[in-house]
Amino acid sequence: MIYFCLAESVVSDLLMSVYILAFVFGLIFNVLTLGPIIQQVRQKNVLGIFLLNLSISDFLFIITMPLWINYYRFNHRWMLGSGSCSVAGFVYYSNMYISIYLLCCISVDRCLVVSYPLRFKTHRTSCYAWMQCIVVYVVVVVIHIIMLVYDNLTDAHDENNNNDRCYETYPMEKPIALFNLLRVGLGFLLPLLVLAVSYWRVLATVGRSPGLSAQVKRKVRLLSFGVIGIFSVCFAPYHILLLIRSLVFYNNNFDKSHNGSYCRFEEQMHFFFSCTLALSSLNAVVDPVLYVLVIAMEKYKINRKEVQDTATKKSLKLFGFGCHKIPVITWKIRQLLTEQ
């Protein structure tokens, strides 16, 4: 039997304000960056393709934000029917994990371009980028469709407060708790590891490159920490609390009856968990910041005196935006390039 542990939230106005800001600034920033991104895609820029798909996901999420604003305006009352609740929740969580995995694609692409500029050049095509994006979309969407069908819209009504709620059914069911643990592992911890390793490799390689000025190296660090910062600020709090809630659910010492210790725990967590969900919505605002960082690096022109030969220039172009890995050009590599 499904019942609700939650009393009416006293933070609806705060949450509504966050979603309004995310909607307004997310729409403005994504519209402003869409034109330059499309221009990059037309030039068959791999990074531009990743950023375009990131923008598409953000736009779909932004379209549903007024529904969440309306939800919090009426103090956690969903007044638009269970169907719209399912669609809004489906887009919400799909956007979250599409964004996470596209950030992983970007980080791995940067790492390979930096570490293996010559070997990776022949494999790095626009088709390669589009296929990665399609795989990300298909996998995330299919998984969330399965969970949507399983959920069966059972969380639409709060009998205790006579409220129609959306995605706020407590306690968890066991399969949902298991799915949440998988989300934390595969949807957060694994991508975090991929990002950390990729950008650690980028920073280490660039740091060893004598052909780069200190300013260029600072710009590389800015992009690296910017991506990891976006990921951590937007997604870490939500997944940390999701992990805690799921582990608590599996703790048999908790009384899961109505008004039991488990319900009291969920009531205490509700404010913080709602805030982390609102915080995750800001990824639609900060994703365009990633593009701004990239453009700033692309406009930077490296002094010709710092470039030892044309082979190094080719390596610069491979990185896509001017902060590329400039590997230590050994005599052997220069000889191979000269032969080409």
Nearest to 79 by CA among 87, 67, 91: 67
Question: pLDDT class for 137, splitting at 50, 70, 90?
Answer: very high
66 prior amide bond cis, ω within 30: no
First-to-final CA distance of the chain = 71
pLDDT, residue 325, reads 40
**pLDDT, average across residues 40-65:** 91
Judge whether residue 130 has pLDDT over 80.
Answer: yes
Contact assessment for residue 226 and residue 289, using Cβ atoms and an 8 Å cutoff: yes
Classify domain 12-339 by CATH number: 1.20.1070.10
Which structure tokens are listed for 41?
């895609």
Give per-residue pLDDT as tens, 173-208: 777 888 889 999 999 999 999 999 998 988 888 888
Give per-residue pLDDT as tens, 22-34: 999 999 999 998 9
Number of other CB atoms surrounding residue 123 within 10 Å: 9
Judge whether residue 338 has pLDDT over 80.
Answer: no
For 230, counting Cβ atoms within 10 Å of its Cβ (0-12 exposed, 13-18 middle, 19+ buried), the class is buried
Contact assessment for residue 252 and residue 205, using Cβ atoms and an 8 Å cutoff: no
Question: pLDDT class for 124, splitting at 50, 70, 90?
Answer: confident
Contact assessment for residue 172 and residue 180, using Cβ atoms and an 8 Å cutoff: yes
pLDDT, residue 202, reads 85
Domain segments of the chain as ranges: 12-339
- The residue with greater pLDDT, 188 or 306, is 188
Q: How far apart are CA 172 and CA 61, in angstroms?
A: 25
**pLDDT, average across residues 123-151:** 88
